[in-house]
Amino acid sequence: MSAPLKTDSKPFLDTGLALFGGLTHRVADMSEKTVAFGRKELDLALYEMPGLAALREEYGDSKPLAGARIMGSLHMTIQTGVLIETLVALGAEVRWVSCNIFSTQDHAAAAVVAGPNGTAAAPSGVPVYAWKGETLAEYWWCTLQALEWPGHGHCNLILDDGGDATLLVHLGAELEEQGVMPEVSMGDSEEARIVFAILKHVREEKGDDYWRPMAKAIRGVSEETTTGVHRLYERLEKGTLRFPAINVNDSVTKSKFDNLYGCRHSLVDAIMRATDVLLSGKRALVLGYGDVGKGSVQSLQGQAAKVSITEIDPICALQASMMGIDVVVLEDVVEKMDVFVTATGNFNIITADHMKRMKHNAIVCNIGHFDNEIDMAGLEAMRATGEVEKIEIKPQVHEWRFTRTTHGPNGGGHSILILAEGRLVNLGCATGHPSLVMSASFTNQTLAQMELHAKAESYGISVTTLPKHLDEKVARLHLGKFDAKLTELSDKQAAYIGVPVAGPYKADHYRY
* Residues involved in catalysis: 75, 98, 103, 161, 224, 249, 254, 258-259, 263, 369, 433, 441, 445
Q: Of 350, 313, 316, nearest to 330 (Cα)? A: 350
Does residue 62 contact residue 146 with C-beta atoms inside 8 Å? Answer: no
What one-character DSSP code corresponds to residue 428?
H
Helix and strand counts by DSSP (H, E) for the chain:
20, 17
Q: Where are the beta strands (DSSP E) in 457-510?
A: 463-464
CA distance 82 to 72: 13
Does residue 299 contact residue 264 with C-beta atoms inside 8 Å? Answer: yes
Backbone phi, psi, residue 388, to 5°: -150, 150
CA distance 83 to 116: 13
Does residue 104 contact residue 132 with C-beta atoms inside 8 Å? Answer: yes
Angle at 379 between CA 197 and CA 348, to 5 degrees: 80
Neighbour-count burial of 360, counting CB atoms closer than 10 A to its CB (0-12 exposed, 13-18 middle, 19+ buried): middle
- Give the β-pairing of 397-402 and 388-394: antiparallel
What one-character DSSP code corresponds to residue 507?
-
Neighbour-count burial of 437, counting CB atoms closer than 10 A to its CB (0-12 exposed, 13-18 middle, 19+ buried): buried
Does residue 382 contact residue 388 with C-beta atoms inside 8 Å? Answer: yes
CA distance 161 to 227: 8
Quick one: how far is CA 494 from the chain centroid? Answer: 39
Backbone phi, psi, residue 8, to 5°: -85, -10
CA distance 331 to 348: 13
One-letter amino acid for residue 317 of the chain: A
Q: Is the dihedral of CA 111, 150, 102, 7 positive or negative?
A: positive
Cis peptide before 127 (omega within 30 of 0): no
